[in-house]
Amino acid sequence: MKTYIARKTLRTSARCQLCYFCDGTLTTGIVWDLSEAGWRAAGERPIHAGTESTVYMTILDGDQPRNILIDAAVVRWSDGQVAGWEILRMDEANRAQLTRLVEKLRSASPVEDLLTGSRL
């Protein structure tokens, strides 16, 4: 039986690329949803809960790709190639960039509006 823990922050739908090391190999994946505290992603290879890695997330800022460096993230749960990650450590400049991205995604999300009541 799986144990579930309530998330610290609500995730919002996102589509961006990430790169991380898994068993000494650089691996890529796609982020499906994102928050200031973590994300859910599908990777090229299965990954195990408890795996820690440095992660590079590539986002589009207008037409320009931008990299966000997460110094340390840990896989909190995994189901084969799909996993939930939590951010452990990142610098303030990258955190500010991630926060701006999440806020931008939330402002464009009608589902988020319904959950938070911001357009009711």
CA distance 93 to 12: 21
User: What type of residue sits at position 107?
Assistant: S
pLDDT digit string, tens, across residues 47-65:
999 999 999 999 877 778 8
pLDDT digit string, tens, across residues 85-114:
999 999 999 999 998 888 888 887 655 444
- At residue 38, what are phi and psi to the nearest 5 degrees? 175, -165
pTM for the model stands at: 0.78
pLDDT number for residue 69? 96
> What is the radius of gyration, based on Cα positions, of the chain?
14
Write down all domains in the chain, each with its CATH number in brackets: 12-116 (2.40.10.220)
